[in-house]
Amino acid sequence: MKTRESKRRIAIVTAVLLVAVAAGGVITWQNFGKGKGDQTASEDRSVETISEEISDDAVADTSDGNDAVQPEETLEPDSEETSGNAEGQMDVTGEETAAAQAGQTDVAQETSGEDTAAQTAAEPQITLDFSEDTVLQTPVSGQILIPYNMENTVYFPTLNVYKCNPSVVIASEVGTQVAAVANSQVKSISNDAQTGLTVTMDMGNGYEAVYGQLQDVSLEEGAMVQAGEIIGTIAEPTKYYTEEGSNLYFALTKDGQTIDPTLYLPPQAE
């Protein structure tokens, strides 16, 4: 009996001890966890405190104007500034282009002006200043077949008639070059039944020269012609001059009135 009672007591004591040991372990583990949590909380508070102190110091340094290290900011391009710069570059480019174009234009104008001046200098200045004292150059060399006569009639072989003649008819071979008798300006170029291709030229001061029976005329109305310049060649005669043969029809007028060309032509043209 005693042995059984002793065993039971030992079992109870052992159980109590085991319970006590287990309870103590739980309490110890809780205290350990609590201490670690307090330490972590303390460390968190310390970090927060340090961060706040650094932030406060940075603000204080900035306020005092000290060289505090500022956090880098990401600078975004200012659209207006960029646009302004672009416009400025465009303006500069436009000005440079305009200047270059203006320079090229000036150079072109100067070159053109120089070329024109050189051309003008190379070309003879033609002055229309015919007078009654002027001696004409010979348009062609040849015999006068029908003389000028507005007072008495003269004979026309092809027409077989006598009539007044407002010109001189000078014999010349087909293809012979015809020269301008004085400085002139082409007044008109026309085709006439009697005189064929006919050129009328203004010699100035109311004097005009008329050249008929021509071909190969390359002049245009308004063209300036220097004395002695070739104005065309002798053509085949019209039907009004078949008996006379190829010739130059040449007449002079003053203020619309016919005058005797032989009074102004050199003697060998008579």
In terms of phi and psi (left: phi > 0; alpha: psi -120 to 50; beta: otherwise), the region of 175 is left
- In this prediction, the residues of the chain whose per-residue pLDDT falls under 50 are 26-29, 31-47, 49-51, 53-55, 57-75, 77, 79, 81-83, 86, 92, 120-121, 269-270
Q: Which residue's structure tokens are 């940075």?
A: 58
Q: pLDDT tens across 48-99, in order?
A: 544 454 445 443 444 444 444 444 444 454 545 444 554 555 554 555 555 5
Q: Transcribe 117-155 into DSSP letters.
A: HHHHHHSPPP-----TTPPPPPSS---EEE--EEEEEEE
Those residues whose C-beta lies under 8 Å from the C-beta of residue 130, and which sit 6 or more positions away, are 182, 183, 203, 204, 205, 207
Q: What is the pLDDT of residue 69?
A: 42
Q: What is the pLDDT of residue 42?
A: 45
Read off the pTM.
0.56
CA atoms in the 13 A half-sphere facing the CB of 15: 6
Residue pair 261/168 in contact by the 8 Å Cβ criterion = yes
Q: What is the pLDDT of residue 35?
A: 46
| Cα–Cα distance, 197 to 229 (Å, whole number) | 18
Q: Where are the alpha helices (DSSP H) in the chain?
A: 2-64, 79-122
Q: What is the pLDDT of residue 247?
A: 98
